[in-house]
């Protein structure tokens, strides 16, 4: 359907070389978008870009640590230099961690917040500035988490960061609407990725997947391509500040 076409558009996907990020990057490319993968692992990015180019679009790997303000500005400029513009940005780069009181280390709290929250802010600020300069609107998609809605006692800093970025999407959705830039978020549930490998154990599978998730299975990275293409495309042209929950029904159980 033409409504879902991304032909002629350029998308940035932070952390787009693996997991949900790569699943989304594939979907955007299949819809016709050229894609810039921003990530720290250059070897993984090279492989991801080769795969995306195989789908018939332009794709570029751009080294970027989103927690570094200057690196984000440089990545934005490099994307425009290589691909001409930025129309879509998926703020996916993120990390998790474990932290418990009373010995919760400050550096561990800062590590997660620096990437998940500050990095998302730096990216949103930089790409939206480019979109405003282009004068043709755009779509920014923030990857949140059901952990930012329910809370996660094992990883409270992850929960805090994801709650914050989803609220950030709403607030900047208001600010940027006059520029025809839409800001929405996606809240994944439990998804099979490298980041969630450490969570897989019999007790977790029984309680959180078997009992708490009505679909009784993990999500797959490729199941985020559809929601992302929808939010990136004209199919969602009257949506901003919304959160799409993609969790196999966990939040309603």
Catalytic residue among 126, 159, 162, 236: 162
What whole-number percentage of the chain has pLDDT above 70?
98
**Cα–Cα distance, 98 to 175 (Å, whole number):** 34
**CATH number attached to the domain at 2-245:** 3.40.50.720
67 is catalytic: no
Q: Which of 137, 161, 139 is nearest to 149 (CA)?
A: 161
158 is catalytic: yes
pLDDT (0 to 100) of residue 118:
98
- The stretches in the chain having pLDDT less than 70 are 197, 199
pLDDT (0 to 100) of residue 133:
98
Neighbours of 194 (CB within 10 A): 9
- pLDDT digits 0-9 by tens, 193-218: 777 767 677 777 787 788 889 999 98
Catalytic residue among 67, 128, 155, 158: 158
Catalytic residue among 126, 145, 155, 185: 145
pLDDT (0 to 100) of residue 242:
98
**Cα–Cα distance, 28 to 45 (Å, whole number):** 16
139 is catalytic: no
The pTM of this model reads 0.95
């Amino acid at each position: 359907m033409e409504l879902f076409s991304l032909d002629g558009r350029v998308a940035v996907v932070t952390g787009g070389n693996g997991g949900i990020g790569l699943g989304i990057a594939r979907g955007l490319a299949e819809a016709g978008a050229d894609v810039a993968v921003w990530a720290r692992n250059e070897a993984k990015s090279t492989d991801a870009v080769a795969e995306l180019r195989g789908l018939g679009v332009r794709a570029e790997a751009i080294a970027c640590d989103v927690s570094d303000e200057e690196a984000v500005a440089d990545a934005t400029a490099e994307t425009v230099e290589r691909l001409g513009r930025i129309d879509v940005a998926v703020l996916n780069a993120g990390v998790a961690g474990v932290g418990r009181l009373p010995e919760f280390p400050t550096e561990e709290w800062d590590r997660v917040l620096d990437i998940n929250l500050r990095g998302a802010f730096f990216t949103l600020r930089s790409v939206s500035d480019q979109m405003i300069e282009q004068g043709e609107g755009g779509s920014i998609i923030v990857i949140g988490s059901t952990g930012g809605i329910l809370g996660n006692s094992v990883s409270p800093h992850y929960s805090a960061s994801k709650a914050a970025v989803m609220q950030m999407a709403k607030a900047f959705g208001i600010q940027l609407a006059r520029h025809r830039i839409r800001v929405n978020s996606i809240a994944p549930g439990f998804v099979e990725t490298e980041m969630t490998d450490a969570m897989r154990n019999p007790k977790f599978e029984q309680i959180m997947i078997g009992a708490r998730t009505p679909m009784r299975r993990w999500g797959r990275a490729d199941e985020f391509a559809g929601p992302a293409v929808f939010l990136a495309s004209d199919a969602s042209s009257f949506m901003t500040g919304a959160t799409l929950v993609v969790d196999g029904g966990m939040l309603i159980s």
